Each structure stands twice: as structure tokens, then as C-alpha cells.
């Protein structure tokens, strides 16, 4: 896999080595660092690097880096911040304010593209864990739309993984080598959001001491992800509509138009159709954004994925912290699967991290769960509600039964380390019957830690 190739990190002033290394240290890439360009150029030639990351180069550094890249088989180069740059075709320029996730995505995308990975038509769904029908539908749509430039609107409750889908679409698109720029429209005050989106000129407003490019400019050639688009003010919606339609805008305080080539992906946890009816969201903007709708299902509608997600998050924490991975008792997992998870996947991930720190033994028991888990389960049982079904909005009986079976089988397989004879014994069924069900449900051992 290209994402396990070495990512060489080169630092030369401006941006502290510890900062950049810290941004990359918690990801699944193999990291090697050099304190400066002098040390880097002393490294023997090696073609094993998936990408090279450098920051704030001097003129001499840029020349030395060019020679180093040639000796290393010409891997792609990622430059963070401003400064001289070598004359090198396979270069991605990133703003100094890039987030850790964006930098990691850039490393992966450049390494994948350089190695030819992803060219075989296999959708890279890294980080999206699950086998339920709901998540399969989402991935099917994402797979189809990734190769296009169509505008995508991702809807769903908070914590369902909307940004993960946006990143997967960009990662599998022809724009993968260009930046994915993320902006949370709900986290920035309305009076500042226009400047964040489109940039501003020096003196455009109090405090604008220098010109600054906006996110649309930074995303040129790539993708811009407008998260929480439903929180945008009506006045700014008008300007956004023009920018999307014409791929053209002006910085705040400027008269010159700037043209960009970008793809738009937006997301919201609000009902935009209702907001349109209530005149809180522009109808023309809604239809312009909602070309390809992607609906993220809440976790309560994909209960069979809960054991897979819990296992995935526990393994992720173990890799990141070096702590021993904890297991889940059948009783704890049954209670977790029955819970409604109002915070969705994000709530589950946070709970797993709490377990990894606070649970003393190597097994999470039912007693380790927060009190409201048991009280909710007791309430449902008293009303005669099955553990794995939420019938309040109607259910597909056959699908619910199948998901219940799949969840039980996965729990037994995980408990037995995928020894089918032992798992069959735990389930009180014949081994041949279990093997048939595993084949029918297309279960694989890697499914407990990998995306579908």
C-alpha cells in the first residue's frame, strides 16, 4: 500500500520541526525526519519515499533539495508555507495554516498518485468502517461521484462522518494531488466568513494590515469542503451562489475578479429543504449545492457496525498511544449495540478513548459503561423493544434480523480470534452452518479494522 511508504519530513527554519512532526506523528504513515537540509542531503539515495515534505526553504536549500529529490527517485514534493522552491514538476504548495488532517491527506494523496495506487478503480474508503446496508449505499454513491466534478451535498446528524466522506471523495478524484480545503461555516462569525472564503485586500477593514488569500484561492485546482453550510447568513449565500456558478469572485475590498477551478462539497446537519420553505436558506443555492445528495445514516440505523467501529477505534488508539488494546465483553457489546447513540460515531469514538484510559483491566465490562446506557436498555426491555431494533420509525424486519445475526457472528469471531470452530461453539451452532453464514454475509477478518 502506498500509504505505508516512508514519508520523509525535511525542515529548514520557519516552521519548527517538532510542530510538523507532531502533526504527522498520530497518523498511520511511516515518518522519518531530518533537522535541516544539510542533514537531509547526507542521506543516501533511496527510492522508498512516498513523498517529501519541506518548509520555508532558503535559496540554497531549494537547490540542495532538488538534487536530493533526484537521488531519491523523484518522489512528489509537498512545500508548506512560503519561500523559494526548486524547479520541480511534481510539487504541491500548501498554506502555512494547514491543519494536521489536511497535511496527512496531502501526504497520502501524493504518495498514492506517485505509486499509481487507486488507478485500478478500487475506491479508497480508508477510515470509513462498516458493513451495514446504510454505509454501503453511501460508499456506492461516493464511488460513482468521485471521478466527476459534480457538486455534492452531504447531510446527516452531527457525528455521522460527513467530513470522512468528503475526504474520501476528494482522495479518489482526479483532483487528489491538489489541496482539499476545509472551512467550518458555523464556527466563524458571519462578519469574518466572507474574508475567510474569498480573502481580502490590505486596508479592506480594520485590522487588515496585509492582503490575504481566501479558502477559494487556496483550493484552486482542488476541492473546497464547506462544512455546516446551513449556518451561513443569507447575505453571504448570494455571494457564494455567484462564486459557485461562475467560479469567480472578488476579495473583500478589491475590484479585480479572481477565477478558480474548484470542486464544491458541502455538508450540513440541518434540514435545508425546510430552511428553504422557511426562507432561511436560498432556494437557488440549495438546488445548486444539492446536485448529488449523500445522506449519512445515524449510528442507530447501522447497529451491526457498532462492534466493528468499537474495535477499529480501540486498535487506532493502541497504535497511537502504545497502550494495550482492550477487548469488549459480550454483555458490554450487547448494551452498546442497543444504545441509540445520539452523538453517533463521534460519541462512540470518544467513549472508546475513555475506556482505553479509565478501564484498568484488558476487558471492557458492562459495568464500565456510563449509567445512562444501562438505564436506557432497561427502559427498552421493559417496553418489549428488541435489543437491536429501533421500531419508532418503522423497520425492515428481514434486514434487522440479518443485522442482528451478523452482529452476533462478528462478536463470536472476534472473541475467538476468528477460530471458526470456537466461534461456532460460542454460538451453539455447527461449524459448517457458521462457515456458510460467513460466506453469505461476506465477512472477512480484516473487516474489524478496515474500511469497507
- For residue range 283-305, what is the model confidence (pLDDT) as tens digits? 999 999 999 999 999 999 999 99
**Domain spans, the chain:** 2-115, 133-295, 299-448
Q: Which of 89, 165, 86, 171 is nearest to 128 (CA)?
A: 165
Residues in the chain: 452
Helix (H) or strand (E) holding 288: helix 283-289
* pLDDT of res. 171: 87
For the beta carbon of residue 59, count every other beta carbon within 10 angstroms.
Answer: 9
Each residue of 401-449: pLDDT tens digit? 777 788 788 878 877 778 888 888 888 888 888 888 888 887 765 444 3
Q: How confident is the model at residue 34 (pLDDT cuts 50, 70, 90)?
A: low
Region 36-56: mean pLDDT is 66
Q: Which of 364, 370, 368, 373 is nearest to 313 (CA)?
A: 364
pLDDT at residue 25 greater than cutoff 60: yes
* pLDDT of res. 169: 94
- DSSP character string of 143-156: HHHHTS---EEEE-
Region 41-66: mean pLDDT is 71
* Range list of β-strands (E), 15-159: 30-34, 49-55, 77-80, 91-94, 152-155
Fold for the domain defined by 2-115:
Rossmann fold (3.40.50)
Q: At CA 133, angle to CA 129 and CA 138, rounded to 5?
A: 65
Same fold, 2-115 and 299-448: no
| Beta bridge partners of residue 266, listed in sequence order | 153, 226
Specify the CATH superfamily of domain 133-295. P-loop containing nucleotide triphosphate hydrolases (3.40.50.300)
- Top pLDDT among 173 and 210 is at 173
Q: Which of 264, 270, 259 is nearest to 241 (CA)?
A: 264
- Top pLDDT among 86 and 184 is at 184
Of the segments 3-12, 50-59, 358-367, which one has the largest average pLDDT value? 358-367
At which residue does the C-alpha cell 486498535 appear? Answer: 315
Each residue of 322-336: pLDDT tens digit? 778 899 999 899 899
Average pLDDT, the chain: 80
Distance CA 1, CA 28 (A): 12
Across the beta sheet with 263-268, the strand order is: 180-184, 223-227, 263-268, 152-155, 292-295
**Contact indicator for 315, 324 with CB cutoff of 8 Å:** no
> What pTM, to 2 d.p., does this model score?
0.63
Fold for the domain defined by 299-448:
Helicase, Ruva Protein; domain 3 (1.10.8)
Amino acid at each position: 500500500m502506498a500509504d505505508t511508504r516512508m514519508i520523509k519530513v525535511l525542515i529548514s527554519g520557519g516552521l519548527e520541526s517538532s510542530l510538523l512532526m507532531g502533526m504527522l506523528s498520530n497518523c498511520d504513515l511511516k515518518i522519518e525526519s531530518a533537522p535541516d537540509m544539510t542533514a537531509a542531503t547526507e542521506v543516501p539515495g533511496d527510492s522508498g519515499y512516498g513523498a517529501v515534505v519541506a518548509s520555508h526553504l532558503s535559496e540554497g536549500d531549494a537547490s540542495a533539495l532538488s538534487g536530493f529529490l533526484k537521488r531519491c527517485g523523484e518522489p512528489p514534493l509537498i512545500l508548506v508555507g512560503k519561500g523559494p522552491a526548486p524547479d520541480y514538476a511534481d510539487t504541491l504548495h500548501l498554506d502555512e495554516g494547514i491543519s494536521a488532517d489536511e497535511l496527512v491527506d496531502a501526504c497520502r494523496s501524493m504518495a498514492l498518485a506517485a505509486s499509481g495506487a487507486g488507478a485500478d478503480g478500487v475506491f479508497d474508503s480508508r477510515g470509513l468502517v462498516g458493513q451495514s446496508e446504510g454505509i454501503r449505499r453511501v460508499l456506492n454513491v461516493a464511488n460513482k461521484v468521485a471521478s466527476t466534478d459534480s457538486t455534492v451535498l452531504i447531510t446527516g446528524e452531527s457525528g455521522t462522518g460527513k467530513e470522512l466522506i468528503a475526504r474520501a471523495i476528494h482522495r479518489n478524484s482526479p483532483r487528489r494531488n491538489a489541496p482539499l480545503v476545509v472551512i467550518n461555516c458555523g464556527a466563524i462569525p458571519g462578519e469574518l466568513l466572507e474574508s475567510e472564503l474569498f480573502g481580502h485586500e490590505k486596508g479592506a477593514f480594520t485590522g487588515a494590515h496585509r492582503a490575504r488569500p481566501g479558502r477559494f484561492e487556496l483550493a484552486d485546482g482542488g476541492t473546497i469542503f464547506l462544512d455546516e453550510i446551513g449556518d451561513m447568513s443569507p447575505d453571504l449565500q448570494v455571494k457564494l451562489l455567484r462564486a459557485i456558478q461562475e467560479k469567480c469572485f472578488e476579495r473583500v475590498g478589491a475590484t479585480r475578479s479572481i477565477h478558480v477551478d474548484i470542486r464544491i462539497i458541502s455538508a450540513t446537519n440541518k434540514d435545508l429543504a425546510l430552511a428553504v420553505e422557511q426562507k432561511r436558506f436560498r432556494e437557488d443555492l440549495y438546488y445548486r449545492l444539492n446536485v448529488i445528495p449523500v445522506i449519512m445514516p445515524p449510528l442507530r440505523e447501522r447497529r451491526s457496525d457498532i462492534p466493528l467501529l468499537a474495535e477499529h477505534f480501540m486498535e487506532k488508539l493502541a497504535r497511537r498511544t502504545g497502550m494495550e488494546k482492550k477487548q469488549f465483553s459480550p454483555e458490554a457489546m450487547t448494551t452498546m449495540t442497543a444504545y441509540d447513540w445520539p452523538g453517533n460515531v463521534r460519541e462512540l469514538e470518544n467513549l472508546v478513548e475513555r475506556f482505553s484510559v479509565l478501564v484498568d483491566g484488558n476487558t471492557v465490562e458492562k459495568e464500565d459503561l456510563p449509567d445512562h446506557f444501562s438505564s436506557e436498555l432497561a427502559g427498552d426491555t421493559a417496553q418489549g423493544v428488541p435489543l437491536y431494533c429501533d421500531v419508532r420509525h418503522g423497520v425492515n424486519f428481514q434486514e434487522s434480523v440479518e443485522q442482528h445475526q451478523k452482529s452476533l457472528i462478528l462478536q463470536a469471531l472476534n472473541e475467538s480470534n476468528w477460530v471458526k470452530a470456537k466461534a461456532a461453539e460460542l454460538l451453539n451452532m455447527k461449524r459448517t452452518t457458521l462457515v456458510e453464514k460467513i460466506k453469505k454475509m461476506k465477512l472477512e477478518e480484516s473487516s474489524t479494522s478496515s474500511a469497507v
